[in-house]
Amino acid sequence: MNPGQRKRTHAVTDEAIAERRETIAAHAADIIAGSGVEGCTFGAVSDSTGFSVGMIQHHFRTRERLVLASVEYRTTASVREWQTIHSAGTGALERLHDLLTFAVEGEATFEQAWGFWIEVYSAAHKDPNIRVHVANTLLAWRRIFEETLDEAVQEGLIKPFHEPEVLATLLLAVIDGLAIQALNGIYDSSPAKMIDTLRRFAAHEFGIDEQSFVRRDLELKEPAL
């Protein structure tokens, strides 16, 4: 080798590794949504991504780690998407309206997002490691609701009967229940009906006009002259 000539390597940058891991986790999440946690095998993810089974094993070692990585991926993606919505500069009441809508419709389709979470909730009942990850996810999700609710209360925009922490927990319980109904078509439910029901229920709990909140009437935050 000539002096000054650098030895050629096949090193992969940290950014490339992180991107590859995220791609694998994203495909794993979609597989879980359609086939359940048990269907999330290295072979299935390999077929979906085009990456070899060996490469996937190199990054995640075990199937359990791959499943946990998919939970982290969905959580991070949801929080990041909500932060983008939150930074749009709207008022607290509009953000509550958008947050409830976001709970149903985000970048992922309703079937992808809620199909994933319902499968993971079910698996968490039997797997303590998944349960811990899901619990942390729900704490982060509830914190977003709490902060937005508290902001609306402090600004005098809503007058809920419950404290923000209790109301956030209640809203999340309603969201989860309605999502199960919509995903399975129970009571002739659908994502659109879920959004409408959720907005009406929230308006009642907020102590504000139902029709105006459902329409996202911006005059709600403006005091009458």
Report pLDDT digits (tens) over 19-67: 899 999 999 999 999 998 999 999 999 999 999 999 999 999 998 899 9
Number of Cβ within 10 Å of residue 68's Cβ equals 21
The pTM of the full predicted model, rounded to 2 decimals, is 0.80
Residues 136, 79: contact at Cβ < 8 Å?
Answer: no
Query: By C-alpha distance, which of 148, 166, 162 is closest to 205?
Result: 162
Which tokens sit at 102? 């976001």
Sequence-separated (6 or more) residues with CB below 8 Å from residue 123: 36, 37, 67, 130
The helix-helix angle for 128-154 and 63-86 (nearest 10°) equals 10
Q: Residue 211: is it exposed, middle or buried by C-beta count within 10 angstroms (0-12/13-18/19+)?
A: exposed
Which tokens sit at 64? 């359990």
Question: Measured at the alpha carbon of residue 157, what is the angle toward residues 151 and 160, in degrees to the nearest 5?
Answer: 85
- The tokens 């947050």 sit on which residue? 99
- Predicted confidence at residue 89, as pLDDT, reads 60
For residues 183-200, average pLDDT: 92
Q: Does the domain at residues 72-221 carry the CATH identifier 3.40.50.720?
A: no
pLDDT-based confidence at residue 219 (cuts at 50, 70, 90): low
Question: What does the DSSP assignment read for 132-147?
Answer: HHHHHHHHHHHHHHHH
Give the CA dihedral 135, 95, 174, 138, nearest 10 degrees: 0
For residues 175-201, average pLDDT: 93
| In the predicted structure, residue 225 carries a pLDDT above the cut 70 | no
| In the predicted structure, residue 13 carries a pLDDT above the cut 50 | yes
For residues 113-142, average pLDDT: 88
Mean pLDDT (the chain) is 85
